[in-house]
Structure 1
Amino acid sequence: MKIRVWCLLVTAFISGSIAAQRPAGMGGRPGSGQQMNMGHFYGKVVDSKTNKGIDGATVQLLGSRFDTVTRKAKDVALATVLTQGNGDFSLENLPVFGKFTLRVTAINYTDYSNPISFNLKRPAEGDGGGDPSQRMQQMLSMVDKDLGNIKLEPSETNLANVTVTSTAKQFFEMGVDRKIFNVDKNIVSTGQTATEVMKQIPSVNVDIDGNVTLRNASPQLFVDGRPTTLTLDQIPADIIEKVELITNPSAKYDASSGGGGILNIILKKNKKAGYNGGIRAGIDSRGRLNGGGDLNYREGKINFTLAGMYGGRKSKSTSFTDRQNLSSDGAFIHQEINGVSKGRFYFIRPGLDYFIDNRNTLSANFSIANGRFDNDQPQRIDSSFAGVLSNYNQITSVSSFNFNNFGGQLGFRHNFEKDGHNITADVNYNSSTNGNNAVLNTYTYFPGSSTQVKQPALQNTYGDGYNRFWTVQADYENPITENSKLEAGVRAAIRNFGSNNQQYRFDTTAGDYVFNALASNRYTFNDQVYAAYLTYSFKLGTRWNYQLGIRAESSNYTGKLLDRDTSFKVDFPVNLFPTAFVTYKLSNAQDLQLNYTRKVNRPSFFQLTPIVDYNDPQNLNVGNAGLKPEFTDVLEFNYNNAYAKGANFLASAYFRYASNLITRYQYQDINLQTGDSAVYNTYANASNSSTYGLELTNRNTVLKIWDLSLNLNLYNAKINTGNLKDAGTSNEQFSWFAKMNNNFKLPKGYSIQFSGNYQAKTVLPPNADGGGRRGGNRGGGPGFGEINAGTAQGYIKPRYSFDMAVKKDWTWKGGNSASVTLSVNDIFRTELYKVHSESAFMIQDSQRRRDPQVVKLNFSYRFGKFDASLFKRKNNKADQGGGMDMMGN
């Protein structure tokens, strides 16, 4: 009797010690006490014909768990692992009581499923010869069970004639509130940047300078769901997994997107157990080198990722501009620029996930980017009066620009017991600094002569700046019932920006460079946005789904002009922004959705500041401190039909109305520096604008080897400028653009991608500058003679281009692979950016071409092993909130 009591006490102690550490949610019924999580199943998965072990089979243990919401028991995955190379598997830290189901699956084998249990029994009193240690050993052996060889039957498919169906994700997927484009297999953009990736995305337009518009408006750029100070040309294409296109963001996202939507770039982050990685290298026809690599390692509670890239750049551009002044002098100006930009940049992104336990995860991600670019832009400007050449300018423009960017994110996620019930909190910090210098010398000559009209204008510009961006955010999600869910969150975003640009002009009297105060500026500003949101989603019946939301936002700007010792502050009060999404399911493959949101576009510091930019004496730039916020109402109707396997059709009709539209505006006044008449480019609130359109997207497998994606966007854009002096009453343009993407899977590992796009004549986006100033003068500002067009009076002429790539893949036993990609952009040399603009002061046409027919050769090699023996965690709640984690968290 004493021996029996002693055994029970020891067993109870072990049970209590282990149960105190057990994953929450592994218990049975309420009030049933603590479970004993000391069970261990192990065995081997083999081929029933050959008895050889099967590598990489998925072994899953299912058990019953009590749901406190439905008050019913439900099956959940208690542990999931992959078999080792010899077929061995091990499932540990399992409940010892109850009945379970063992499920095993493997490619080309029939699924296996069988009930199992530990079948605990009290040792017979006479067993063990009265030795208590032997009795204890017998009890422990009952919870350490060898399942032996589990034999899988090969599937009946004739493997000699089998047609392999790819398990890779489709290029296009439709989410609840977003379109998802899986671009990790996009070969046209291999070895390039996110700018080239965006050219392959339906609905998105990319101009010659990499400026992106979404349905004729400027979207916000997110990385991994959070705003970033990185630009598209600073993000390597090879580390992008997918792009989420959110054309009408819900209340969960910033209302300050201004109706332009969100482009959310999701970076690659492999969470499979074991290690894997890759290296990449490439060169293009201009001798630009690029290289990079990535590494992922996961063991136990740690998941570590590291990615990096180096890119060289040599960009060539040509442009010309013809402008006729409508003033009394009637001057005609012709400008030609031939630019070359050389440089390099690198990008490093380490990341770490720490799975504290099955309910709590701590994440840290960082990014470091650095680059330098040197630009050489010789220019010639001819000035004519009454058709007779009066003089011409020869301009030497040499500039350099460098940047450093650091980003960090700390995130915490807690999963409650109920599936889908969680809270997340994260802090994001992005900091960028930059420096630039430019030398701009202008020599004016008489026609056909080397005699100078006047002394040359020599100027040097030096500058630097910083941009620091903090966001603090917390989100809560609670599926109240099976058919309803509540989401709420708060967010604070704080941006600090500083700029210091100093210009020096050569003074012939002093014989030295003299500081030019009118063309120099130093300023800082602080931008703060505070927000809170609440959304409620629910189902009615089996077909209707609803999501209602409300978001509250307030913001303020504080700016200071350091040289003038003046400051200004603009407060924008709290505004409410409602959102509504209604979805009706026609069938399992078809659904309809109607959604509405309200957005705001608050004027930025640059649009508000009264600083005059004198770099171009004939075209001055200045802000407007009287600007009001622009409010936009967006309505969208979607029809989605997954009409065949791998095929999808999406139709979207949309309408966007903006009041107090912030747009470029021109007026004529005196240049305070020269005393001459000049055109001032500023911003103003136009009465309103409206855009409506229809977008059609279709993806289909035309042939077994050919996937085709087509996108057509028809829209009408109208800007009402009747309230602005000398701007006309309105500017309206019907337009359309189309994209196609062909992917061919050929024998022996070859694949071909051929893509193209066409943009018809269209109105300039409301906040464009008419010609794009990013390309050549990113360090020193606009050069002499560079002209900005007021968008209320301009349009972009039609343009089109085609890209192509060929790829060869090799795959070896063990999972290692390699590929070589040969690509060429703008293969027919048709990418030509033409802009026409006119106002009461001038008529202007400009044309630019940049980097046509560049050939790129890239090589990549991937390695790694997803081996379940490399980790010991067997719980799987951290990532899925109670769902199945195929990697055995």
Structure 2
Amino acid sequence: MKKVIALMSFALLALSYFAQAQNPMMGGARNGGQMPTGRFYGKVVDAAKKGIEAASVTLVTKRMDSVTKQPKEVIVTGMLTDKGGNFSLENIPLMGRYELKVTGIGFKTYQKPVAFEMPNRNAMQGGDMSTMLSAIDKDLGNISIEIDEAVMGNVTITASRPALTMGIDRKIFSVDKNITSAGGTAVDVMKNVPSVNVDIDGNVTLRNTAPTIFVDGRPTTMTLEQIPADAIETIEIITNPSAKFDASGGTAGILNIVMKKARRVGYSGNLRANIDSRWRVGGGGDLNVRQGKINVFASGMYMQRKSISTGTTDRRTINMLRNNQSVQTDRNVGEGAFGFGRFGIDYFIDNRNTLTVTGNFARGGMEPSSVSDIRVDSSSKNGSGIESIFYTELQKRLSNSDFNFRNKGAQVSFKHNFPKAGHEWTADVTYNKSKNENNGLIYTDYFDLANNPIRSRYNQTQYGSGNNENVTLQTDYANPISQNSKIEFGARAQLRKVNSLNNIQIGGKLNSTLYNSTDNVYAAYTTFSNRIKDFGYQLGLRAESSQYEGILPNKGQTFNIEFPISLFPSVFLSQKLNDFNDLQFNYSRRINRPNFFQLFPFVDYSDSLNFSRGNPGLKPEFTN
């Protein structure tokens, strides 16, 4: 019964078609009816009758252009063939003449006119339903396409992106080529980056100086230990920043960490887990969803860490009356864990305008401890000049502390692409806020070598906390004047506020230091780059105005450092010698502003042999 009802429905559909064809006044546009539709289907094969996957099948027709009054070709529908070479083009209006086009990489284009051929009235009246069904559901059969010898003769095999590429003002290191740092942090990645040095304690230097850390081209309050390696796409090593970048940093360069963000249509993601040689575990994942005008991306990770290090320090103090020599051995153990999360949304307003909102957070803590054994030998010279040891002291120091941090940030970005490739304007606002706390307890026991009982004990407790807020407003414009030349200019404002408290108690006596500071930098820049055959150059100029103010509220002291206007030119030259060698020369003027710890007037007594204290009156230095 169901088959009879279905056949009757197809018959009524066909009769409706003929009724409309005989009386145009009854067309769908006149009475609100819907044009009946059908389907073309078939299979794309090669000369061996094997199905071709991902061949492009397009159905086109010709319509009258209302402006030129000439017929023009328009696409009705299209698709890619499946693994077996099959295709199905549905919802095709029955009335019309079409052309089928099939293309594939390495094959000649196939073209064929197609149309729905409705049965005549005799077939209709004779009840031949199979003829009617085949008319509106048309099988085009196997479509054989030929290999294009000319195209196949010029196939080029290209390699994947190299691990390190050179730009006129930077080196770009691809992290996805580095599997040894998977599951680690950005510090582990830096161990494999050329020109970057990482010592045994995880301190990162570039050209023997601590570099400035950027994330996605903007300054950040996050440290390298707080950024997971699996979330990094590339690292840009900028040893001598051009006028486009912040002039502060002196001889130090910039490490710009570019985070991963996919924009593939549909759903994509991955999960990962790891365990290290000390049985500390970690895991994380990424997710990307692209539907229509919205692209959502997120990533997160959790990691446990344990570090063990040992060291020996040999000191010798010489004076006229007595010489001291100390040998110190240390064993440091640090345990902790931290988590990181990142979330963002791209909204594609249209083909040329994109609005992006991202947020990130990090939280974690470490509990380092250290045990130090110190032997101090005191010696003096007799009248004959012979040196002899007359006193030996042993010290045993135990240090326990815990450190906790929280970091959060957000960024709102807008990007406009002009019709010309590379011609763009961007504007963004970035906000970062971090908070940290640390507690420390240090015991030092003193022994005489002759008798082992404790002679005396030295106790020290420390507590510190700090807040750091950073707001950056930036806009950039780039215009490729020609294929080889480009001009860029932009403006930037960075507003930073830091509050820090440190308490240290020694022998029941408390020493407390509260220090607040604000640091504002306003800048504008322009650069011009050009290439003449194998020679390239970039010229730039940056103007900056900076204001710094530090306050000791408990003492009523204020420190001010101002530079109304400072100019920072830059020149980059590059000569390509061959496919494997480039010769580069660059010059830039920069300013080295003292960092927070160099300015913070707090006396650190944690090491009785090495006191340190910041100087809030330090002035910046200019370097060339």
Alignment of 1:12-31 (within 5 A): none
**Alignment partner, residue 883 of structure 1:** none
Judge which range, 295-304 or 386-395, deviates more. Answer: 386-395
Amino acid aligned to 2:489: A
Q: What is aligned with 2:335?
A: 342
Partner of 2:444: 442
1:48 aligned partner, one-letter code: D
How far apart are the structure 1 equivalents of 2:88 and 2:604? Answer: 69
Task: Check the 8 A contact 2:592/2:621 in 1, yes or no.
Answer: yes
Q: Deviations over 1:586-642 (max 9, x none)?
A: 667765443322222112243234433333344221233453322222xxxxxxxxx
* 1:597 alignment partner in structure 2: 588
- Shift, 1:112, TM fit: 5.4
Cross-structure match for 1:184:
176
Q: What is residue 379 of structure 1 aligned with on the other side?
A: 372
Distance 1:169 1:45, change over 3 A: farther
Aligned match for 1:564, one of 548, 555, 558: 555
Structure 1 residues 315 and 586, CA, compared in 2 at 3 Å: closer, same or farther? closer
Of the structure 1 ranges 478-487 and 391-400, higher mean CA displacement relative to structure 2 is found in: 478-487
Q: Where does residue 285 of structure 1 map in the other structure?
A: 277
In structure 2, the residue corresponding to 1:498 is in which secondary structure?
strand
Distance 1:105 1:295, change over 3 A: farther
| CA–CA separation in structure 2 for the residues paired with 1:449 and 1:312 | 43
If the length of structure 2 is used for normalisation, what is the TM-score?
0.76
Q: How far off its partner does 1:487 sit?
A: 0.9
- Where does residue 294 of structure 2 map in the other structure? 302
**Cα gap change, 1:537 to 1:613, in 2 (>3 Å):** same
Question: Which segment is superposed worse, 266-275 or 147-156?
Answer: 147-156
Cα distance, 1:168–1:54 mapped onto 2, change above 3 Å:
farther
The residue type paired with residue 510 of structure 2 is N
| Equivalent position of 1:403 in the other structure | 405
Q: What is the match of residue 385 of structure 2?
A: none
CA distance 1:626–1:414, shift in 2 (3 Å): same
Q: Is the 8 A contact 1:521 1:611 kept in 2?
A: yes
Structure 2 equivalent of residue 462 of structure 1: 463
In the TM superposition, what is the alpha-carbon distance from 1:582 to its structure 2 partner? Answer: 3.3
Q: Once the 2 structures are TM-superposed, how far is the Cα of residue 203 of structure 1 from its aligned partner?
A: 1.4
Contact 2:250–2:621 (CA<8 Å) still a contact in 1? yes
Aligned partner of 1:489: which letter? G
Q: How does 1:498-647 map to 2 (within 5 A)?
A: 498-506=499-507, 514-517=508-511, 520-540=512-532, 542-584=533-575, 592-633=583-624
Matching residue of 1:194: 186
Which of residues 264, 267, 281 is equivalent to 1:272?
264
Distance, in Å, in 2 between the alignment partners of 1:546 and 1:165 is: 31
Residue 370 (structure 1) aligned with residue 363 (structure 2): yes
| Equivalent position SS for 2:181 | coil
Question: Residue 324 of structure 2 aligns with which residue?
Answer: 331
Structure 2 CA distance, aligned partners of 1:320 and 1:608? 30
- Residue among 206, 217, 221 paired with 2:198: 206
CA distance in 2 between partners of 1:614 and 1:579 (Å) = 42
- Give yes or no for contact 1:336–1:380 (8 Å, CA) kept in 2: yes
Query: Aligned letter for 2:458?
Result: A
Gaps of 5+ in 2: 1-22, 31-39, 60-76, 90-100, 114-138, 150-154, 380-388
**Alpha-carbon distance, 1:351 to partner:** 2.0
Tell me: CA distance 1:112–1:601, structure 2 relative to 1, closer, same or farther (3 Å): farther
CA deviations on 1:400-440 (whole Å, 9 max, x unpaired) are 01111112221100112333221100111121111111111
Q: Which amino acid aligns with 1:360?
A: N
RMSD: 3.9
Q: How far apart in 1 are the matches of 2:374 and 2:79? A: 70
CA deviation profile, 1:727-761 (whole Å, cap 9, x unmatched): xxxxxxxxxxxxxxxxxxxxxxxxxxxxxxxxxxx
Separation in 2 of the partners of 1:60 and 1:334? 81
* In structure 1, C-alpha distance between the alignment counterparts of 2:299 and 2:199, rounded to whole Å: 28
Q: After superposition, give the CA deviation of every residue in 1:202-244 in whole Å (9 maximum; x if it has no partner).
A: 1111111222222323322212211212211211112222222
Partner residue, 2:414: 412
- 8 A contact 1:288–1:312 mirrored in 2: yes
Match of 1:184, SS? helix
The DSSP-based 3-state class of the residue aligned with 1:188 is helix
> How far has the Cα of 1:498 moved from its partner?
1.6
C-alpha change, 1:164 and 1:480, in structure 2 (3 Å) is closer
Whether the 8 Å contact between 1:59 and 1:89 is mirrored in structure 2 is no
Identity %: 47
1:611–1:345 distance in 2 versus 1, CA, 3 Å: closer
In 2, the alpha carbon distance for the partners of 1:276 and 1:630 equals: 49
Q: How many residues align?
A: 529
Q: Structure 2: how far apart are the matches of 1:531 and 1:288?
A: 45
Contact in 2 for aligned 1:502/1:516 (Cα 8 Å): yes
Contact kept in structure 2, 1:193 and 1:234, CA below 8 Å? yes
Work out the CA distance in 1 between the residues paired with 2:43 and 2:238. 44
Whole-angstrom distance in 2 between the partners of 1:80 and 1:222:
45
1-side partners of 2:78 and 2:588: how far apart?
42
User: Is the alpha carbon distance of 1:104 and 1:404 closer, same or farther for their aligned partners in structure 2, counting shifts above 3 Å?
Assistant: farther
Q: Residue 390 of structure 1 aligns to a residue in which SS?
A: strand
SS of residue in 2 equivalent to 1:210: coil
The secondary structure found in structure 2 opposite 1:238 is: helix
Q: Within 2, Cα distance between the matches of 1:598 and 1:81?
A: 56
Match for residue 233 of structure 1? 225
Q: Which amino acid aligns with 1:207?
A: D
The CA deviation at 1:489 is 0.3
* Normalised TM-score (structure 1): 0.54
Where does residue 46 of structure 2 map in the other structure? Answer: 48
CA gap 1:567/1:628 in 2 versus in 1, 3 angstroms: closer
The counterpart of 2:216, out of the listed 206, 224, 229, is 224
Q: Which runs of 5+ in 1 are unaligned?
A: 11-41, 62-78, 91-101, 118-145, 157-162, 507-513, 634-889
